[in-house]
C-alpha cells in the first residue's frame, strides 16, 4: 500500500517536526517547547529498538543488521557506514509515521527527528517543520557526550582501537551532516544554525514563532 502525500499531510496536521543535523539542538529545543507549551515530544531515537522488533529483515535489512562487536561496527569504510545510516533512517520512517498518526489524532505533538527536506515535503507543510543545523566538527565526541547517548559511548570505547573507531565515526557523521546541511540551506525551508549566539530559550522562541504558536 502506498499513501499519497496529501493523505499523509492531512493525518499528520497536528505534528510539528524539528529536524536537522546531529548536535544541532533538536532535542534541547523540543524540550524547551514542551516545558513552555505542554506539547508532548516524540523522539525517534527512543523508539528504534521497539521498531526493530516489529521490522522484517526482508523489508528492513539495515535495521536488522547485527554486528558481533564494536570492531566490526566501526571497522567498516566511511562509505559503508554512511550508507547504513541513511538506509536505517529511511526504513524506520514508516514506523515513525504510523506512530505519529496515532499519537497526534486529537492533539499537537512535537517530533524530534532526522528527516530530509525531501521527506518533509512528502509529510507536512513548511510551516510545521523547522531545521536546526550545526557545523559538523568532532561530532563523535559531541554525540557520545550526551547523557542519553551513553550506550553509544560505551560501544565506541569497547573498540580495540578507540582512536581509529572515533575517526571513522567522526568522518562518517561529518560527511552525512555536511550533505544534510547543504540540502537544508538550499531547500528554502526555515532553519537556524547553532553558533552559540542564542540561548536554548531564544532558539525555541524563534521556532515557536515559525510554528505560529
- What is the model's pLDDT at position 24? 87
Residues of the chain with pLDDT under 70: 1-3, 136-149
What are the residue boundaries of the structural domains of the chain, listed by start?
5-12+33-210
How many Cβ atoms are within 10 Å of 81's Cβ, its own excluded? 20
- What is the model's pLDDT at position 56? 97
- What is the model's pLDDT at position 145? 61
- What is the model's pLDDT at position 184? 95
Q: How far apart (Å, rounded) are the C-alpha atoms in residues 191 and 163?
A: 33
- What is the model's pLDDT at position 213? 97
96-121 pLDDT per residue, tens: 999 999 999 999 999 999 999 999 99
- What is the model's pLDDT at position 154? 85
- What is the model's pLDDT at position 144? 56
Q: How far apart (Å, rounded) are the C-alpha atoms in residues 102 and 52?
A: 18
- What is the model's pLDDT at position 3? 64
Strands 109-112 and 191-193: unpaired
- What is the model's pLDDT at position 95? 97
Q: How far apart (Å, rounded) are the C-alpha atoms in residues 85 and 82?
A: 5
How many Cβ atoms are within 10 Å of 43's Cβ, its own excluded? 17
Write down the pTM of the prediction.
0.91
- What is the model's pLDDT at position 139? 62
Amino acid at each position: 500500500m502506498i499513501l499519497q502525500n496529501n493523505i499523509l499531510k492531512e493525518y499528520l496536521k497536528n505534528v510539528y517536526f524539528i529536524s536537522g543535523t546531529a548536535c544541532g539542538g533538536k532535542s534541547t529545543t523540543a524540550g524547551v517547547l514542551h516545558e513552555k507549551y505542554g506539547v508532548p515530544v516524540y523522539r525517534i531515537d527512543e523508539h528504534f529498538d521497539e521498531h526493530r522488533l516489529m521490522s522484517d529483515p526482508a523489508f528492513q535489512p539495515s535495521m536488522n543488521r547485527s554486528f558481533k562487536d564494536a570492531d566490526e561496527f566501526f571497522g567498516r569504510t566511511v562509505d559503508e557506514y554512511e550508507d547504513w545510516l541513511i538506509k536505517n533512517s529511511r526504513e524506520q520512517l514508516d514506523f515513525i509515521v504510523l506512530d505519529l498518526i496515532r499519537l497526534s489524532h486529537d492533539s499537537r505533538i512535537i517530533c524530534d527527528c532526522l528527516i530530509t527536506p525531501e521527506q518533509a515535503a512528502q509529510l507536512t507543510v513548511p510551516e510545521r517543520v523547522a531545521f536546526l543545523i550545526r557545523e559538523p566538527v568532532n561530532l563523535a565526541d559531541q554525540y557520545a557526550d550526551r547523557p542519553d547517548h551513553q550506550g553509544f559511548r560505551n560501544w565506541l570505547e569497547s573498540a580495540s582501537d578507540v582512536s581509529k573507531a572515533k575517526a571513522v565515526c567522526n568522518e562518517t557523521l561529518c560527511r552525512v551532516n555536511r550533505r544534510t546541511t547543504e540540502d537544508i540551506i538550499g531547500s528554502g525551508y526555515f532553519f537556524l544554525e547553532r553558533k552559540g549566539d542564542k540561548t536554548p530559550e531564544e532558539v525555541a522562541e524563534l521556532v515557536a514563532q515559525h510554528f505560529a504558536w
